[in-house]
């Protein structure tokens, strides 16, 4: 019983972190658009790997959450 409650709290915490990553990556993407169209610099090239890694991390964490939710649903 305690492990199920602990897992549910962990799932909620991961969901919050995923939302934070998505908000962070959207802000970075907006920064790249501003960098391209307003300032005409190449600074946006440094932000693309950071955006990609944030999105990949959120995808991996979403897959983990689905696996954990299936595990808690079976119990």
Beta-carbon contacts of 6 under 8 Å, excluding residues fewer than 6 positions away, are none
Q: What pLDDT digit, counting tens, does each position of 47-73 carry?
A: 999 999 999 999 999 999 999 999 888
Is residue 70 within 8 Å of 11, Cβ to Cβ?
no
pLDDT band of 1, cuts 50, 70, 90: low
Whole-model pTM: value is: 0.85
Helices 44-74, 2-34: inter-axial angle, 10-degree rounding: 160
């Amino acid at each position: 019983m305690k492990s199920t409650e602990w897992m549910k709290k962990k799932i909620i915490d991961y969901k919050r972190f995923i939302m934070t990553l998505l908000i962070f990556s959207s802000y970075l993407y907006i920064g790249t658009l501003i960098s391209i169209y307003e300032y005409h610099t190449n600074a946006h090239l440094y932000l693309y790997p950071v955006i990609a890694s944030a999105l990949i991390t959120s995808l991996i964490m979403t897959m983990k959450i689905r696996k954990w939710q299936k595990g808690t649903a079976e119990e």
